[in-house]
Amino acid sequence: MSASHAAALPAVPDRLGVPAMVTMAAAAAVVIGGAALAWAFSSGAHTLAWSAYLIGAFYALGLGVFGLVWVAIVNLAGGTWAVTMRRVPEAMSAWILPGGVLALLVILGAPSLYEWAHPDVVSANELLTHKAPFLNLRMFAILVGASVLVWTGFRALIVGASQRQDREGGIGATRTMRTASGAFLVVFAITFSISAFYFLLSLDAHWFSTMFAVLVFTDAAQTGTAFVTLVAALLVSAGALRGFLNDNHLHNIGKMLFAWTGFWAYIYFCQFMLIWYANIPEETAYFLRRASNGWLPFLLALPALKFAIPFLVMIPRDAKRTPGRLIPVAVLVMFAQFWELYLMVGPAVGEGEGAAQAHLPVVEFAGTIGFIGLFTLVFTWALSRCTPVPVKDPGLAAALHYHS
């Protein structure tokens, strides 16, 4: 970057200060979530407690890993428009290691969640016996643990190159990030699918779905984009990155959120339509279980929460450029992700006469709020440790002059 270019830059704040209210709210959420889980465990409702833990842990893990996915996609696509907001998804990815460790603790509650975690049940069931080489706690720990370590390694490489560019400048770091991003996305597709199979799909160990990994990725992409949208809109509202982030950037990220919302509806409908059309017992069991024992209203509410409402609200152009309209949509999408995870986990626990009954997810929601609070504390910590804008990135000039 030339000296004249550098002199023309708007004033860059040393650090993005996090309002004390945000920190206090995140800490309060952690306390609420911890208290709810402690109450569930102490009252002997171990299945409820571990269900709530799984929902919250996987929710937050999806946010963390998608932060790195966002960076990788933008790097490969040459999306210079997003340079000025790159610190947000980079800070999200700081959750990968602590979030991965916390998610792996689900193994401690596996007997309360997973049918295949009981050797006597597996030995008496031909299908579970056939799946046993993959569906066992040792492979769970090895494969998911290795996935978290791989994600952490790629984060160190990609985010490390980004931060090195802040000090040294040059195009070399950009090339490193682009090369590493391509490799990461290939590995991510495999490892995230494995993690989704273990954490969520294996709750219904007799169920088959070739679209499940795509659906779970779409969930993470939609929710992760909603979080980036929320933070970017708040930064624009506060004027924290004035001159670097404006309504043109919001418009682009709003279009991404709009696109992921439509794509989620497409994937979810495809899964339902194919299962309905084929009418194979091994597949229909998933939706039949979620249409009985009081779960049907919860199931019918999901498309409205995650597609219809945000899609309709974001159709106008101004809705994608105005923080006051983007923020509530982003919050709704993030809540809808909890609702979907609750529908994935809640009905799957229990069998026969002990089948799970629908209920208001008070403990589950409180547990998820607790994990979001922990994620927010790590996110804000990571965001405050680096310069808020990569001022030595070669694409910065294009980002500053971007119009949409």
How many domains would you assign to the chain? Answer: 1
Residue 353: what pLDDT?
Answer: 61
The answer to whether position 191 is within a domain reads: yes
The answer to whether position 70 is within a domain reads: yes
In the chain, what is the greatest distance between 2 CA atoms, to the nearest angstrom? Answer: 75
The answer to whether position 1 is within a domain reads: no
What is the per-residue pLDDT across 36-83, written as a single tens digit (0 to 9) for each? 999 999 999 999 999 999 999 999 999 999 999 999 999 999 889 999
Please, are residues 307 and 265 in contact by the beta-carbon 8 Å criterion? yes
How does DSSP assign 257-315, residue by residue? Answer: HHHHHHHHHHHHHHHHHHHHHH--HHHHHHHHHTTSTT-HHHHHHHHIIIIIHHHHHT-
The answer to whether position 11 is within a domain reads: no
The answer to whether position 13 is within a domain reads: no
Residue 136: what pLDDT?
Answer: 96
Q: Higher model confidence: residue 60 or residue 20?
A: 60
The answer to whether position 5 is within a domain reads: no
Domain range for 25 is 18-400
The answer to whether position 7 is within a domain reads: no
Residue 210: what pLDDT?
Answer: 86
Q: Is the pLDDT of residue 17 over 80?
A: no
Q: What is the mean pLDDT of the chain?
A: 93
What is the per-residue pLDDT across 77-108, written as a single tens digit (0 to 9) for each? 988 999 999 999 999 999 999 999 999 999 99
Task: Tell me how far CA of residue 403 lies from CA of 73, 93, 247, in angstroms.
Answer: 20, 28, 9
Q: Is the pLDDT of residue 3 over 60?
A: no
Q: Is the pLDDT of residue 170 over 90?
A: no
The answer to whether position 2 is within a domain reads: no
Check: pTM over 0.85? Answer yes or no. yes
